[in-house]
Amino acid sequence: MSRTGVPGTSSPIVADLVTGAADTLRVKVDPRFAVDTSMEPTVEFSPRGDLLLVQATQFSIYVWDLATKQVRDSLTDIAVYANLLASDDGSIVAATDAGMVQFWRRGSREPSSQFLWKLGAPPRTFALSPNGDLFAYDRDGKVTLGDVTRGDIIGEIETGLGSAIGLAFVDDGRAFVAVNTEGRVARIATDPDAWVQRACAIAAAGGAFDRVRIHGRAAAVAPPQRCRPEPVKR
């Protein structure tokens, strides 16, 4: 399948590359929001190819169900042209731009949550988990894992590979992988306990203790409470 937007309209064209069959999907745009005749609508397939995301105007996004050729959701409260992405199951639509990422949950018109990028350029790689619960992005080799519902960070972790050119969730969202320009891959579990274990390993390292002794109080040398082994029951 291929897709493209018709410049100056709200319509995308969907074509089957095998049969050559093509169809133009049309929707009546809200008259309050004029279509920019110099722009081609942003058009993206969902991962499964069953939905088509179309930003026909600067202020609205349409989610097409390709099986029925009907608009499933009409999304509002967006003010710029953005990069569009849907979760595998279609439950979440994300729009990323230079300032933030906004999330819409299936059946809602207004964003359900949003996340403002940290200071600096927006990330070049962004991914949604298959069920739309989590998001991740990479900036200079540091991957941020976030919670879609809260629009907040779960944690950050260094991949050790430098900037990633690709980022994707795998194993039904139980992990994500980051790929750098050399083709090297880092696989990181999304389970919070796995992140705690990794943080504890860093905290327990000799270098970490040395830094605490030099820059911190002596009482702070002990590892964090969650990193301490459970007492042996007798």
- Range among 20-24, 31-35, 124-128, 230-234 with highest mean pLDDT value: 124-128
Do 61 and 153 lie in a common domain? no
Percent of the chain with pLDDT over 90: 37
User: 85 forms bridges with which residues in the sheet?
Assistant: 94
**pLDDT band, very low/low/confident/very high, at 22 (cuts 50, 70, 90):** low
The CATH number of whichever domain residue 183 belongs to comes to 2.40.10
Do 33 and 71 lie in a common domain? yes
Do 98 and 37 lie in a common domain? yes
The b/e string for 133-151 (b: 16+ C-beta within 10 A; e otherwise) is: bbbbbbbebebbbbebeeb
Average pLDDT along the chain? 79
Q: Kindly tell me if the per-residue pLDDT of 74 is higher than 70.
A: yes
Q: Kindly tell me if the per-residue pLDDT of 44 is higher than 50.
A: yes
Do 74 and 173 lie in a common domain? no
Structure tokens at 36: 């920019």
pTM: 0.75
Do 72 and 31 lie in a common domain? yes
Closest CA to 66 of 21, 36, 101: 21
The CATH number of whichever domain residue 62 belongs to comes to 2.130.10.10
Q: Which of 92, 113, 134 is the last residue of a domain?
A: 113
Do 182 and 201 lie in a common domain? no
176 burial (CB, 10 Å; 0-12 / 13-18 / 19+) is buried
Q: How many domains in the chain?
A: 3
> Which comes out higher in pLDDT, residue 230 or 85?
85
pLDDT of residue 42: 82
Q: Render pLDDT for 92-149 as a digit per residue (tens, 0 to 9).
A: 999 999 999 999 999 899 999 999 997 767 888 999 999 999 999 999 889 999 999 9
pLDDT of residue 132: 95
- Cα 15 from chain centre: 27
34 burial (CB, 10 Å; 0-12 / 13-18 / 19+) is exposed
Do 84 and 153 lie in a common domain? no
pLDDT of residue 121: 72
Do 158 and 225 lie in a common domain? no
Instruction: Provide the residue range defining the domain that includes 218.
Output: 191-234
Strand ranges (DSSP E) for the chain? Answer: 2-5, 12-15, 22-24, 42-45, 51-57, 60-65, 70-75, 83-86, 92-96, 100-105, 113-116, 125-128, 134-139, 142-147, 152-158, 164-170, 175-180, 185-189
Q: Which of 88, 113, 138 is the last residue of a domain?
A: 113
Place of tokens 């169900």: 65
Provide mean pLDDT across the span 198-211.
58
